[in-house]
Amino acid sequence: GAVVSQHPSWVICKSGTSVKIECRSLDFQATTMFWYRQFPKQSLMLMATSNEGSKATYEQGVEKDKFLINHASLTLSTLTVTSAHPEDSSFYICSASGDPRRPNSEQFFGPGTRLTVL
């Protein structure tokens, strides 16, 4: 299957700082990327859908001004957690989907980024 990478794999930051997480599709062009959040021992919750060249669509309850998503190219999407607070500490996972002509096309997941806010 296709490969999706995330960087960094883990990050520790002070409260109030901003953190950027990158999601890259390494061997295919991802027209759509998804950002998920997973709290300990819980399932993945979709945060937003990111389409290349357009604004991200956020799920209900997710603050778009706090979680800035940029999908500037077909291989890169970034999630910036602005003014991070301890409650933002979580495991953030992205996924990428390649072919919009194929409904329900397979999503390839990145390895995740563990964010810890002190």
> What residues make contact with another protein under the rule CB under 8 A?
1, 6, 32, 34, 42-46, 49, 91, 93, 95, 97, 103-112, 114
> CB of residue 45 vs another protein: minimum separation in angstroms?
8
Residue closer to another protein (CB basis): 16 or 64: 64
At residue 61, the 3 state secondary structure works out as: coil
Structure tokens belonging to residue 96: 């990428």
Structure tokens belonging to residue 68: 């800035």
**Rounded to whole angstroms, what are the CA distances from 73 to 32, 64, 103?**
10, 20, 21
Residue closer to another protein (CB basis): 62 or 82: 62
Residue closer to another protein (CB basis): 19 or 98: 98
> CB of residue 116 vs another protein: minimum separation in angstroms?
12
Asked if 89 contacts 16 with a C-beta cutoff of 8 angstroms, the reply is no
> CB of residue 77 vs another protein: minimum separation in angstroms?
14
Structure tokens belonging to residue 17: 């700082």
